[in-house]
Structure 1
Amino acid sequence: MNSLKILIVEDETITAMDLSETLQEAGHQITTIARNLDQAVKAVKSHPPDLALIDIELKDSTGDGIATARELLEYHRMPIIYLTANSEPKTFQLAKETLPAAYLLKPFRQEELKLQIELAYYQYQYNLAPTVEAVGSDYLYLPVDKGYEKIATDDMLYLKADGSYVKLFLASKMLPYHISTNLSHLAQYFSTPNFYRLSRSLLINLDHMERLESNYLFMVNHKTPIQIPTASRKELMKKLTVVRTK
């Protein structure tokens, strides 16, 4: 496997060093060892990693590992692997909503960690690659109510990740569809230039965007504003033909 740039978010020094040594021995590069949410965000902005390994329980941090993962994914899309001593079902369910690539319990086993990292990155890359059949499709058949319903891709306003589901908002329908999958998988079916990945949890159809404000955008026939992540605004503006005044 190729060498990966990996961010470690771990507040226990000994564990962090063990992780770092294990991963470096496997040929990977550690971008940063962050102890809290703020350090992790700073690290992602300055040295974007290929993958993040995050402890869920972070002391002296403004957010735990799950909150940290959500924040990081707003700035940079990548696979997340949780490493924690907490095996409580409630914690696992909360972690699952961020669609992690793996959830490993401490004490970690070196060989298992190496394998999970390789699998996580391979799956992430696979989900990013569009299928031949998806490119240029004008219509899709979505799995709805134990069957498949035909929709026009041009009718799609935007797609929003919602836990283990994706909400699909259409211009012609009041209520969204709920599809049991992740957004990375569905995004491959919307690969034309008018679809833009605004964040890890949002894919929008630029053709249906009717208004843009400093922090929000509005879609046609859709009253609910969509917040624009700070890190995405500059790139979004490049996709639009904007008339600027002196």
Structure 2
Amino acid sequence: MSLSDAVSKHSVTPKPQLCAVTLLGNLVATPDIRYKANPATAITEIVLATSSKWLDKSTNTYKEWTSYHHVKVEGDLVEQALLHANKGDIILLHGYLSNIKPVSSNTTATHQDIVHANFVQKFPKGYTQAINQIHCSALLTSKPKLMLTEQNKNITQATVVINQHIYDTYKQAWQTISVERAIHAWGKQAEYLAENGDIGDELMIEGRLSYTNGASKDQFIEAKNVHLFAST
């Protein structure tokens, strides 16, 4: 079943769904602020680094992983929070997933999908425990597939679509955008999703944003908790 078939199966007109991303981390570089015309609007794209630690039970040591999130900021938020921001500053932001790809002066570069910010707050440079959270409601567009990793751990992969009702500050109008992402669930959540999930089902996901190890750095949702609602 295709993405459009899954959406039409659930509803002729997709109803708005939740998509809330919260990140707290350090600026990788000083923002490059530009301005659009008609109307004059400030715009910038920043990269925010968040780190997480976990215990590797095989070695009984803690390991750390850093994720780099590309974030688009526009409008008054830019001048209010980022006009005097510098590399290393701590940034707290709230936003949603977007289909926009980051701008790059290197046309051969590949980037992960972008987060569109609707709240930004800057703090002075320093160390802070990072936050990387996403809460979203979505529609399953592929049959969840349960697999076993080389470390004998259960993982289930699937794709979802999120129909977000967002306000476009440049067009000054509300619109609904559909964003498709892969989701990964581990352990008991993996078994639950694989056994009970089907194309067209609604679900609520609590998790974090992650990126594949390949050159494309594709963004996906690493689900910590999944709540399923069967289609009718």
Q: When the two structures are superposed, what TM-score results if normalisation uses the length of structure 1?
A: 0.25
- The structure that has the greater radius of gyration is 1
Higher helix share: 1
Q: When the two structures are superposed, what TM-score results if normalisation uses the length of structure 2?
A: 0.26
Higher relative contact order (CA 8 A, sep 6+): 2
